[in-house]
Amino acid sequence: MKQVHNQEKEQFKKLFKQENISDFEDRFKVLEVFLQTEHHLTVNEIIQLLKENGYELDPDFVRETLKLICRFGFAQKTRFNSGPVRYEHRHLCQHHDHMICTKCKKIIEFQNEKIENLQTQVSRAYGFHMLQHKLEIYGICSECLKDHLKLMPLVMAKQSERLIIKDFTGGSTARMRLLSMGLRIGDEIDVITNSGLGQMVIALDCNRYAIGHGLAQKIIVQTIS
């Protein structure tokens, strides 16, 4: 955490110097104190906190500084239940990027120096001042992927494989037809023949069914090991 705050301080310094903002040292103290706490603070609480740290600053100055800090994106204002305005950190560089599994909704956090640097470079090249960024990668996590690979359309099944019907895709007519013939989700089936072109013979208990290519693509199965 300290590390991160140091980075923010560096940025702050750079920005304020660029903007030729006066009283940098005092303003920096405000920032330092603000960053040290992880709470949501009102202006008065920050003044109080500054006092505790031995900095006597004019409340208006503090208020103005906080506005500046907000303007540069280091903090933001919030109001909880119409209470007083409080300031909270906007964690900029401390952020991590996210990978979000669309299937199980799991979120994986990651950090990659190369990406971070690249972003800075790109921003610079556009003359863009980067305050923060957000990177979310959507996809399927390794565990779901493992399950997903086991699921396949029936056409892909090999002869004498034992499978469990997991799902039907396609319209309700085809599905109703399979249902009324006794093929249902959860049934265990054996592949008797796969002609290679999609026509298949499958066995369910003591019944056997011939299934055409189109339909075999719509039956989603999982192998039983």
Cα separation, 145 vs 100, in Å, equals 13
159 lines the binding site for other proteins (CB under 8 A): yes
Number of residues that bind other proteins (CB under 8 A): 35
Which residue in the block uniquely carries the two structure tokens 């980067």?
130
Cα separation, 220 vs 90, in Å, equals 46
111 lines the binding site for other proteins (CB under 8 A): no
| C-alpha neighbours within 13 Å on the C-beta side of residue 72 | 19
119 lines the binding site for other proteins (CB under 8 A): no
- 17-25, 37-45, 147-155, 199-207 -> range binding other proteins (CB under 8 A): 199-207
214 lines the binding site for other proteins (CB under 8 A): yes
Shorter beta-carbon distance to other proteins: residue 131 or 179: 179
Cα separation, 105 vs 83, in Å, equals 34
179 lines the binding site for other proteins (CB under 8 A): yes
137 lines the binding site for other proteins (CB under 8 A): no
117 three-class SS: helix
Count Cβ atoms below 10 Å from residue 31 Cβ, excluding itself.
22
Query: Which residue in 59, 84, 139, 182 binds other proteins (CB under 8 A)?
Result: 182
What's at 2, amino acid-wise? K
Q: Please report, as ranges, the residues that interact with other proteins according to CB under 8 A.
A: 159, 172-184, 192-199, 201, 203, 206-215, 218
